[in-house]
Each structure stands twice: as structure tokens, then as C-alpha cells.
Amino acid sequence: MNWLIEVAVSVIALGLMVYISNAIVYIPNDRVGVVERLWGAPSLKRGLIALNAEVGYQPEVLRGGLHYFYPFQYRVHKVDLVTIPQGEIGYIFARDGRELSDGQALGRNIEAGIEDTAGYLKAGGQKGPQRAILREGTYAINVAQFAIITASRVHGLLLSEEERGTIDQMGNVLRDRGGFSPVIIVGGHPKGAAEDAVNDMLGVVTVHDGPVLPPDEIVAPRVGQDPANKATFHNNFQNIDAFLRAGGNRGRQHQVLVEGTYYINRLFATVDFIPKTVVPVGFVGVVVSYIGKAGMDRSGEGYSHGELVDSECRGVWKEPLLPGKYAFNSYAGKIQLVPTTNFILKWTPEVTNIHKFDENLTEVSLITKDAFEPLLPLSVVVHIDYRKAPLVVQRFGDIKRLVDQTLDPMVSAYFKNIGQTKTLIQLIQDRAEVQKLAGVEMMERFAAYNLELQEVLIGTPHGSAGDASGARIDTILNQLRDRQVAIEQVATYELQEQSAMKERSLREARAKTDIQAELTNSVIHIEIKKNVGEAAVVEANKRAEVIGINADAERRRLTAEGDGKASAVAAVGKAEAEAIQAKSQALTGEGARLQLINTLGAQFAEAIRDGQIPIVPRIALGGESGGQGLSSLIQLASSLLADRVDAELPGRSLEPSSTEARG
């Protein structure tokens, strides 16, 4: 039994010795071993990693399995594999390598990579923070040489408390810059930005490594943008060495980032977010560039208000940006919006347009010919040709400065001159003429500033509140208003008089229309009477002619047969006497009466026509209608006509007979 106990003790002691001596080491497959040589020759003369098996940390790491060493000569540090989660970035801090050069902030990339520690150091890898970053994945890294900083932890062997402070500070800087996540711009909204951040953003990159900018430059120019050139194409600052080979400088960059995901080393470059520039419809954007080469002046001969240059040059670009959305770096220049639609400038403090160009304008203070001091409100409609917008910006800087420093004094002076030539009343009454003249004369002045004057609108002059001069102006205006009211009243009375006359004419026309039938019947009746009388006269004339013809025939017969001159004469005289007696009979009695009535009726009708005597009475007497009045009038005329006929007939007299008189 004793020998069994001795064997067991020996095995245990041997095992302890093997464990203590690190002669045999087991590495799990999810870990790696960092080998440290404790003694032997030679010792390290510089650095931390023993590339030639010196005492110190060895460059190679041990992977999973059993590993055998010379007893008590080595120590194996078992550490976790370095894992970078999806969507995160890991940063590298090298403990050993060459020194960084002056002005260099990050160690350069080594083609061998950081998993080959010996290759890294032999290729000239540098100590300190590295340009290279770790993307998603699992890495077997010698954490004695490289400390890997992730969002959740630091992978590395702690060598000293001072080193811990350095690495922790580096991690805090990265957290402040959001460096453990890639730069993501989705739909113009930066990841991690505030909820009220403006959409349609772009990223402005500031590089913290590389050569500094020249003294007269404020923004680094674009470099390495040709994908065909693999040596210099830095792919939006994701390949730091390519960026530097292309001649990139540290500082704020002209090139910007638009929508996308970018794995950028945040120790190398930080990203600020600014909104995109929108040139709305009705405007153009005039670019004032702060960077670029000196360009040739394109403003033309005789124009001494600055230089107008081509695109990509420093100065005012001669070609404006048309309406649209632009990823414009506002640190490298500015876009001055210039309206191309008509805009109104109002010289009145009560109204300010949305464009705010006229917020400093007030009414023009005038002194009239009759020493009144009214305030004149104005409105001016202006248009700027989009092709001349760069000239306006080049000359004045912006539209508001143009309005305040040029248009306001020019327009005010013009209307002050106009006001001195007119009285207050003339200024009010001749407003249309003054407005038209101002539009013509001021058009040339506006054209001298590359502006198009569309229209000048003049308001009503008025006095200032609380001013004695203003009260006098109000008095004049009240008198004008009273005068105008009187004129309008006179015109109203004249129109009322015309209306009354028209109404009377209308009533007369309506009365005529109402008795038109009776009037027509009376005219027809008169015509019938006239025709009957004319027929009776014709009949009487025919009868007299027949009697005369018979008398002539008898006379010729008696003359032919005559027994003598006396009998012939007697026969002729008798025949003539009978003819005269026949005419007399024809002109007496009913025939003569009808002929006279016809003659007098015709004379009566002609008298009515020539005298324009209205047949329809204007005033109805006795409450009778118009038709009854006309009938009475006709009856009266007929009675008078009949009496006249009776008086004119032979043997009749207008005076009553003795018998009638006595009766």
C-alpha cells in the first residue's frame, strides 16, 4: 500500500510541477495564448515584442490545443478572441513599433495586417493609434502588442495603470464622436441625430491627420475621387493611406458625404451634418466660393464691381444654380438666393413682405410746392433676370443690401424732386400721371443696376399722426371730399330730373298705345268721309258736263237750223242758262254739303299735322279715359264742321232764324 501512496504522491507532484512550470499548456478553441518568455539569452534591447526569441512577449499567438514548452521558461496568457459585432467598428492601439513622424496622428496601414505581429513590426508598423480599423468578425490577435477598443470592452493585456488611462481616454473620445458605429445617412437623416433634426442632410468631413493646409486656404480641395486609380481612390475617406497618397490635407474637406453607410476611422476624421441647399422655384442660387484657384474676370469691359469667375474658381460664379436640391458644402462657400419672379417692395412700415427685403423701408417724406409735408407710401414691382443675378450679387452682395443702400435713397430722392414741383392738390389729382411718368423715368435708373422695373404704384399722401402739418393735410383732404360730395349730389339731381322726363315720356307712349285702336278708327273714318265727299263732287261734275255737252249739241243744232240770228242767239242763251242751272243744282243741297265737308276735313287734318297738335290729350278731363276723350273730341269737331258747312251753303246762315230765335 505504501508504494501505491508514494506513486500517487509522485504523480500529483509531477502534475503540479508540470502545471507550475508551464511545460504543457492547453488552449481552448475559443481563446488564444500570448506567450511570454521569462528568462534566457539574449534580452530585448528595444521595444516590447521579441522578434528573435528574446526574453519578452513573443509575436506568435497559440491557437486551441496542447502546447509544450521548456519548463519554467515561458508563461502563457490565455485571452479571448477579439470579436467585433455586426454594425460596429473596432479600433487598434499598437504598443510596439516605430515612432510616429512629426505631425502624424495615426500609424500607417501595414499590408501584413495586425494578426501577423511579426510581419507588422518587420514591415515598419508604428506604435500608437492606428489608421486601420476592424470591421465585423472574429480575430486572433496578440493583445500584448495590440489593444483592441470596442464599444463594450478593451481587449488587451494591462501593462500599467498609465497605459490603462491612455486607452480609456481614447475610448471616451471615440464614444463622444460616435466612432464605434459607421456613419449612416438614410433619407437625409443622420443616425443618432436629434428627432427635430432637419431632413435631407449631408456630411461634412474634417480630417485630423495628414499635411496641414496652406495659410491662405480654409477648406481642403477634393482629391482621390477617380475609382480607376486604385492607389489614390480613398472611397469617401474610408481608405486613409490612399487619401494621403492623393495629396489630401488635414482640415475641413470640400468633398461631402451623401446618403449611404461609411466606415470611417473617427480618430482620423469626424463628420458634421448640415442640411442640403434647396433653390426653390422662382429663385436661382448665385454661388460665392471661398476656395478654388484664381479665375479670369468674366464680368466684361467697364465693369469694376469685382470679378465674375468660372465654376470651381474662387469668387462669384458667373453661372447661377437653377431650382433644385444641392449637396453644397456651406463651409466652402455660400449660395445667395436671388428671386427671378416679380417681387414687391413697399415703402410703408405697416406692411413687410415675406421676403423681408423691405423691412427697413418707410414712407417717403415730401415737401410740396405749397409747403405741405405729406408722407407718400409707395410700392415698386421689380424683376431680376436670372442671367444677371450673379452681377447683382457681385455688385451688392445680397438683395437686402441692394434695397437698403441703393434703391431706397434713389426712389426717395426721385419722389422728393417730384413733390417739390406740385402742390398737395396736384399731387393727389395727378397721381396717375405722376405714376406713369415715374415708371418710365425710373426704368433707366433700375436698368443701370441690372434690374427690371415692372411698375411703380403710388399711394395716397397723408400726414403723420399727432403732427400739426398732418392736421392741415387732413383738412385739405376733407375739403376735397366735401367738394366731391357736392359734385356728386349735383350729378344725382340732374340724373333724377332726366329720369322724371323719361318717365313722363314713357307714360305718354303708354297712353298712345292704349288709344291706338280708337285713333286708327278715327283716321279711317275721316278718310271714308273724305272719299265720300270727293265721290259726290266728281258725280256732280260729271252731271254738269253732261248737261253742258247736251247744251252745246242743241246750240249747234239750232245754229244749223236757225231761222235767223236772233233765234240762234236765243237758243244758245237758253242752253247756257240750263247748264248754269244744272251746275247750281249740283252745287246745292247734299252734294254741295259733302264737297264742303271733304274740303274742310282735309284742311283740318293738314292743320293737325303741320302744327304737331297731339291728338291724344295729355290730361284726361272729367275722369274720362283717353279713348272717351278722343271720341268727344271727334264728335265736337264733326259738329263744328257740320255747322260750318251749313253756314257756307247757299241760303244757310250761322245765325239762327227768326223762328228758331223765338223758339
Q: Per-residue DSSP letters for 96-116?
A: SSBPPPTT--SBPP-TT-TT-
In this prediction, residue 561 carries a pLDDT of 60
Q: Is residue 564 classed exposed, middle or buried when 0-12, 13-18 and 19+ CB atoms within 10 A define those classes? A: exposed
Question: Which residues pair with residue 316 across a beta bridge?
Answer: 288, 308
Angle ∠(418,423,425) on CA atoms, nearest 5: 115
Do 259 and 187 form a contact (C-beta atoms < 8 A)? yes
User: What would the grid cell of residue 165 be?
Assistant: 488611462
Final residue before a domain boundary, out of 161, 181, 201:
181
Reported as a pLDDT band with limits 50, 70 and 90, residue 625 is very low
Whether residue 580 is predicted with pLDDT greater than 70 in this model: the reply is no
User: What residue has cell string 284742311?
Assistant: 603
Final residue before a domain boundary, out of 406, 433, 468:
468
Reported as a pLDDT band with limits 50, 70 and 90, residue 659 is very low
Across residues 148-152, what is the average pLDDT? 93
DSSP H helices, 398-515, are 399-402, 408-420, 424-429, 431-447, 468-514
Across residues 625-648, what is the average pLDDT? 52
Look at 327-336, 528-537, 607-616, 645-654 and tell me which has the smallest mean pLDDT.
Answer: 645-654
Average pLDDT, the chain: 81
Q: Do 42 and 175 sit in the same domain of this protein?
A: yes
Do 458 and 438 form a contact (C-beta atoms < 8 A)? yes
Whether residue 156 is predicted with pLDDT greater than 70 in this model: the reply is yes
The residue segments making up the domain with residue 378 are: 339-468
Of 269, 214, 216, 270, residue with least CA distance to 243: 269
| 485 part of a folded domain | no
Whether residue 560 is predicted with pLDDT greater than 70 in this model: the reply is no
- Cis, peptide link before residue 211, omega less than 30° from 0: no
Across residues 328-350, what is the average pLDDT? 92
Question: Which residues pair with residue 450 across a beta bridge?
Answer: none
Whether residue 641 is predicted with pLDDT greater than 90 in this model: the reply is no
Reported as a pLDDT band with limits 50, 70 and 90, residue 653 is very low
Measured from the Cβ of residue 126, the count of other Cβ atoms closer than 10 Å reads 21
| 494 part of a folded domain | no
Do 591 and 537 form a contact (C-beta atoms < 8 A)? yes
- What count of residues does the chain have? 663
Reported as a pLDDT band with limits 50, 70 and 90, residue 457 is very high
Do 179 and 189 form a contact (C-beta atoms < 8 A)? no
Look at 270-279, 330-339, 486-495 and tell me which has the smallest mean pLDDT.
Answer: 486-495
User: What residue has cell string 480641395?
Assistant: 221
Of 335, 428, 439, residue with least CA distance to 382: 439
Reported as a pLDDT band with limits 50, 70 and 90, residue 195 is very low
Look at 142-151, 196-205, 590-599 and tell me which has the smallest mean pLDDT.
Answer: 590-599
| 284 part of a folded domain | no
Final residue before a domain boundary, out of 411, 438, 468:
468
Q: Which residue has the higher pLDDT, 629 or 56?
A: 56
| 315 part of a folded domain | no
Q: Which residue has the higher pLDDT, 642 or 127?
A: 127
| 196 part of a folded domain | yes
Q: Do 383 and 525 sit in the same domain of this protein?
A: no
Across residues 140-149, what is the average pLDDT? 94
User: What would the grid cell of residue 62 be?
Assistant: 497559440
Do 350 and 305 form a contact (C-beta atoms < 8 A)? no
Look at 13-22, 105-114, 151-160, 326-335 and tell me which has the smallest mean pLDDT.
Answer: 13-22
DSSP states of 422-433 as a string? S-HHHHHHTHHH
Reported as a pLDDT band with limits 50, 70 and 90, residue 656 is very low
Q: Do 164 and 271 sit in the same domain of this protein?
A: no
Q: Do 601 and 590 sit in the same domain of this protein?
A: yes
| 42 part of a folded domain | yes
In this prediction, residue 484 carries a pLDDT of 81
Q: Do 458 and 605 sit in the same domain of this protein?
A: no
Whether residue 559 is predicted with pLDDT greater than 80 in this model: the reply is no
Of 273, 83, 91, residue with least CA distance to 184: 273
Reported as a pLDDT band with limits 50, 70 and 90, residue 527 is confident
Q: Which residue has the higher pLDDT, 597 or 208?
A: 208
Long-range contacts of 272-275 (CB under 8 A, 24+ apart): 272/203, 272/204, 272/206, 273/185, 273/190, 273/193, 273/197, 273/201, 273/202, 273/203, 273/204, 274/201, 274/202, 274/204, 274/329, 274/330, 274/331, 275/198, 275/200, 275/201, 275/202
Q: Report how many domains make up the chain.
A: 4
| 571 part of a folded domain | yes
Q: Do 82 and 217 sit in the same domain of this protein?
A: no
Q: Do 122 and 210 sit in the same domain of this protein?
A: no
- Percent of all residues in the chain with a pLDDT value above 70, rounded to a whole number: 76
Whether residue 642 is predicted with pLDDT greater than 60 in this model: the reply is no
Reported as a pLDDT band with limits 50, 70 and 90, residue 571 is low
Q: Do 141 and 202 sit in the same domain of this protein?
A: no
What confidence tens digit (pLDDT) does each residue in 17-64 have?
Answer: 666 767 788 999 999 999 999 888 788 888 889 988 889 899 999 998
What confidence tens digit (pLDDT) does each residue in 274-285 have?
Answer: 999 999 999 999
Alpha-carbon gap, residue 617 to 630, rounded angstroms:
8
| 434 part of a folded domain | yes
Q: Do 169 and 241 sit in the same domain of this protein?
A: no
Q: Which residue has the higher pLDDT, 509 or 604?
A: 509
Q: Do 174 and 194 sit in the same domain of this protein?
A: no
| H or E segment and range at residue 634 | helix 626-648
In this prediction, residue 311 carries a pLDDT of 86
For the chain, the 3-state helix, strand and coil shares in percent, each to the nearest 5, are 40, 20, 35
* Interacting residues of 414 by C-beta distance below 8 A, sequence separation 6+: 438, 441, 442, 445
Look at 65-79, 496-510, 557-571 and tell me which has the smallest mean pLDDT.
Answer: 557-571
Q: Do 160 and 198 sit in the same domain of this protein?
A: no
Question: Which residues pair with residue 25 across a beta bridge?
Answer: 67
Q: Do 121 and 232 sit in the same domain of this protein?
A: no
What confidence tens digit (pLDDT) does each residue in 198-246 have?
Answer: 468 999 999 999 999 988 889 999 999 999 999 999 999 999 999 999 9
Angle ∠(53,56,61) on CA atoms, nearest 5: 70
The CB-side HSE value for 322 (13 A sphere, CA atoms) comes to 1
User: What residue has cell string 499635411?
Assistant: 211
Q: Which residue has the higher pLDDT, 90 or 54?
A: 90
Angle ∠(447,453,456) on CA atoms, nearest 5: 140
Q: Checking phi first, is residue 281 left (phi over 0); if not, alpha (psi -120 to 50) or beta?
A: beta
In this prediction, residue 305 carries a pLDDT of 59
Alpha-carbon gap, residue 3 to 484, rounded angstroms:
144
Domain of 346, CATH number, reads: 3.30.479.30
Alpha-carbon gap, residue 262 to 237, rounded angstroms:
8
Alpha-carbon gap, residue 432 to 310, rounded angstroms:
46
Reported as a pLDDT band with limits 50, 70 and 90, residue 96 is very high
Across residues 293-315, what is the average pLDDT? 73
User: What would the grid cell of residue 94 be?
Assistant: 499598437
Whether residue 463 is predicted with pLDDT greater than 60 in this model: the reply is yes
